[in-house]
């Protein structure tokens, strides 16, 4: 964790203060490449690592600001999102929680919000639909995550960053590679959290399939075999390149595709490789498909896979909950989450629910539960501090304990009746 923080500060300072100034950052956001992706290629830090770094911040001295904003320029020619951000900031300045803070904490927050406004105002012609930003000026935190689709506008501040909406995007989209092959060329694209990253293309010297007049059947067959040999070599080389990149990039999934014979060979050979890659979809697409179409198809495949995964987990949870291998409902799940016993945390996205976080074991208790019992459900302690959102605290704990987070978009009645929270235990 300590190593990650050193790098985050380099990104933060390198980007904003030391070498490059705002232009550097805005330039890369404009090209549809996240600042985070740039950092990842230069410094080998992934967006997931950046998120883990945020989770590690406990905000002992200064509060953290978290902003989610839809920046859909196509639908918003007059930059209505700047006005939206200004009104979010105005509302926070009028918030009693803000005025009750110490002066130094208020100053840090005001600097965060000025920086958010400055960054959003100076963005130009980029492709992202939304943005998530985290800042704690006095603590040296500054993170920008472009988002692939609109997000409900919200500005939060508190001891911990509000990461739930960002974690939802990560859980749905993850990190993947798309490989498309043609007869002579190929293309490999990185996609993380719905945003395209680096892309490489290459060509191979595969002979064309031309017939010469007067050649005998034997000759034609020999030439065909020769072409097939080169095509197979090209496909095997492409798979090697994919695996080379995958070894460094560690994708959650891979999508493969291409046209005709090349795609069929790719499909055939890729199954022979080890370790096996998680192939999410096989697309019938030419290599020169536009990046926006490719991204759209990849996101559809990812979303479909995440829905299937959610359904599978819900089904499993339902079948094992009576055996004690899973938890259902907030209280039991929160106790298991604080103890790091969850392999998968299942939650539905919804409004914020206040709670009480136990100061001795870290369990987050529902406000209603705390008011009735006055003690922690995990350890029985009577001392706790308020948290503004139980789900956000659970998501934080999941990241700390390397628990997979699965967002349930819609569940059956028993899920609705169980606080829309559950977990599958590790063992």
> 17: burial class by Cβ within 10 Å (0-12, 13-18, 19+)?
exposed
Q: Which of residues 381-420 bind Zn ion (CB under 5 A)?
A: 381
Q: What span, in angstroms and rounded, lies between the C-alpha atoms of 54 and 166?
A: 11
Closest separation between CB of residue 156 and Zn ion, Å? 25
Pattern 171-210, Zn ion, x by CB under 5 A = ----------------------------------------
Give 427's contacts (C-beta < 8 A, 6+ positions apart): 325, 341
Q: Which of residues 353-382 bind Zn ion (CB under 5 A)?
A: 358, 361, 363, 376, 378-379, 381
Pattern 65-104, Zn ion, x by CB under 5 A = ----------------------------------------
Q: How many residues bind Zn ion (CB under 5 A)?
A: 7
Q: Pick the closer one to Zn ion by CB: 58 or 121.
A: 58
Q: Pick the closer one to Zn ion by CB: 185 or 365.
A: 365
Contact flag: residue 294 with Zn ion (CB under 5 A): no
Measured in degrees and rounded to the nearest 5, phi and psi for residue 105 equal -70, -40
Q: Pick the closer one to Zn ion by CB: 136 or 356.
A: 356
Greatest distance between any 2 Cα atoms in the chain: 94
Q: Pick the closer one to Zn ion by CB: 146 or 423.
A: 423
Closest separation between CB of residue 420 and Zn ion, Å? 23
Q: What span, in angstroms and rounded, lies between the C-alpha atoms of 16 and 277?
A: 38
Q: What span, in angstroms and rounded, lies between the C-alpha atoms of 396 and 160?
A: 9
**Structure-block tokens of residue 246:** 């995958």
Q: Pick the closer one to Zn ion by CB: 147 or 338.
A: 338
Complete DSSP assignment for 32-79: T--HHHHHHHHH---HHHHHHHHHH---SSS-EEEEEEE--TTT-TT-
Closest separation between CB of residue 379 and Zn ion, Å? 3
Q: Provide the binding-site residues for Zn ion, judged by CB under 5 A.
A: 358, 361, 363, 376, 378-379, 381
């Amino acid at each position: 964790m300590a190593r990650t923080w050193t790098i985050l500060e380099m990104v933060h300072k390198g980007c904003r203060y030391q070498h490059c100034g705002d232009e550097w950052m805005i330039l890369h956001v404009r090209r549809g490449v996240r600042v985070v992706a740039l950092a990842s290629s230069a410094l080998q830090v992934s967006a997931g690592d950046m998120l883990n770094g945020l989770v590690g911040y406990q905000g002992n001295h200064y509060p953290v600001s978290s902003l989610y904003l839809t920046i859909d320029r196509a639908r918003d020619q007059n930059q209505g999102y700047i006005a939206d951000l200004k009104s979010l900031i105005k509302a926070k300045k009028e918030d009693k929680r803000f005025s009750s803070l110490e002066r130094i904490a208020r100053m840090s927050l005001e600097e965060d919000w000025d920086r958010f406004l400055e960054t959003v105002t100076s963005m130009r012609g980029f492709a992202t639909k939304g943005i998530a930003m985290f800042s704690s000026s006095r603590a040296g935190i500054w993170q920008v995550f472009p988002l692939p689709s609109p997000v409900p506008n919200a500005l939060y501040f508190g001891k911990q960053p509000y990461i739930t909406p960002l974690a939802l995007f990560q859980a749905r989209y993850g990190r993947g590679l798309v490989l498309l092959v043609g007869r002579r060329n190929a293309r490999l694209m990185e996609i993380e959290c719905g945003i395209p990253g680096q892309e490489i293309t290459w060509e191979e010297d595969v002979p064309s399939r031309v017939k010469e007049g007067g050649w005998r059947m034997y000759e034609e067959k020999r030439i065909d075999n020769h072409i097939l040999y080169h095509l197979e070599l090209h496909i095997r080389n492409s798979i090697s390149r994919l695996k080379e990149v995958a070894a460094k990039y560690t994708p959650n999934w891979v999508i493969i595709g291409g046209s005709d014979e090349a795609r069929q060979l790719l499909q055939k050979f890729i199954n022979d490789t080890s370790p096996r890659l998680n192939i999410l979809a096989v697309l019938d697409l030419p290599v020169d498909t536009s990046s926006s179409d490719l991204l759209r198809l990849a996101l559809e495949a990812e979303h479909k896979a995440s829905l299937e995964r959610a359904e599978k987990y819900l089904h499993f949870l339902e079948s094992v909950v009576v055996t004690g291998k899973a938890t259902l409902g907030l209280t039991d799940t929160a106790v298991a989450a604080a103890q790091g016993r969850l392999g998968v945390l299942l939650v539905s996205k919804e409004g914020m629910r206040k709670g009480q976080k136990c100061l001795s074991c870290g369990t987050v208790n529902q406000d209603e539960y705390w008011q009735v019992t006055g003690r922690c459900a995990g350890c029985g302690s009577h001392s706790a501090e308020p948290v503004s959102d139980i789900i956000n605290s659970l998501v934080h704990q999941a990241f700390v304990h390397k628990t997979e987070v699965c967002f349930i978009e819609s569940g059956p009645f028993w899920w609705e009746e169980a606080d829309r929270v559950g977990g599958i235990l590790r063992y």
